[in-house]
Structure 1
């Protein structure tokens, strides 16, 4: 591994670029979390995890392609995670959802930092992203009811200066098409909230010069 785990952890514990990083890939205007919380909107809460792990002498992170279903995020690619259940903390939810979706039980000790929350208007969710780093490469056991397939993406690819592509996508909630910036991983177009989170992770880790 060219980059030590400790250096990745140090970077993740640094200052967050936040909304500035989100805006780099956001193709349309959406309310901020602060605006939503101060309004009459009653959002649902969810947590996702940017999970970094080693495979074949490179650091990777996991994305999940969702199965098709009757919902605004049908068939899309996202980070592991899901909605909070009653009585759960944000970290409890991501640990539970990660295990349900992938078969891997994450220790709370491996969660490094909370990233910048964001609001998803089509599904009315506030998403709380977290970053975690582990020493081993998990043996994934994907939940076939929810997960079409896993995509193991490398940090080297994420940090490539020309990784972003422009795509024309259909916004189900607004029933319109828009040009947005996206990440191409595993032959898929990764855009929207997931791209916003990855954009922040990319800026946080850029100092590593992988």
Structure 2
């Protein structure tokens, strides 16, 4: 596969109308039993961004996910894309690149931004998140921040395109809420929730992108 040609084709597709919530809904987890998430928040959602960073390695297009460190929060210990909340005056691109630099040691000056996916509201943490898609053309050595990142998981982008890539199982959210969760399994880790929903939008787009 010619990585440069693939990246150029993907950039063009990201400029076209996006599948958006129709792709998100395919990976939406559903509560089991009477419990339902509370949808009312007392404050407006905070802006944030995550980074889907694509890079070639041994003929494969890969992307990093992180395991969040354990903390008192809604996403403690979860598998997610690098990212976080915006600082004052930042664009979503600046947020995504800065957070990736802080969390996995990305040299943001080397990242080629291709575009953005659909803005996504994360109910559990009251964030409006924009997924930014970027590429790097050379080998990458990641340096995870031990305070924010408990580890890095390396995804194979085209594994997401397999018919059997979408799985479903019952999971326990926040250690107490039963959910039936569509998910991807990446390096033995269950990737579900907002991260899976955002990745699925990219998955839908990739079905029309040339990988020759």
2:55 matches 1:60? no
CA change 1:146–1:162 in 2 (3 A) is: same
**TM-score after normalising by structure 2:** 0.87
CA change 1:92–1:2 in 2 (3 A) is: closer
2:179 matches 1:182? no
Give matches, 1:131-210, under 5 Å.
131-172=133-174, 175-208=176-209, 210=211
SS in 2 for 1:148: strand
2:82 matches 1:76? no
**Aligned 8 A contact 1:26 1:180 in 2:** yes
Quick one: distance in 1 between partners of 2:45 and 2:172? 23
- Report the alpha carbon displacement of residue 149 of structure 1 after superposing the two structures with TM: 1.1
In structure 1, the residue matched to 2:124 is 122
CA change 1:7–1:209 in 2 (3 A) is: closer
CA change 1:137–1:109 in 2 (3 A) is: closer
- Report the alpha carbon displacement of residue 196 of structure 1 after superposing the two structures with TM: 0.5
Superposition RMSD on alpha carbons, in Å?
2.4
- Report the alpha carbon displacement of residue 160 of structure 1 after superposing the two structures with TM: 1.0
**TM-score after normalising by structure 1:** 0.88
- Report the alpha carbon displacement of residue 61 of structure 1 after superposing the two structures with TM: 1.1
CA change 1:196–1:117 in 2 (3 A) is: same
SS in 1 for 2:154: strand
Unpaired runs of at least 5, structure 2: none
Quick one: distance in 1 between partners of 2:2 and 2:63? 16
Q: Can you list the C-alpha shifts for 1:150-181, whole angstroms capped at 9, x where unaligned?
A: 111111211112101102122339x5211010
Unpaired runs of at least 5, structure 1: none
Q: Which stretch of structure 1 is more off in the superposition, 71-80 or 83-92?
A: 83-92
Q: Matched residue pairs, number?
A: 204
CA change 1:187–1:96 in 2 (3 A) is: same
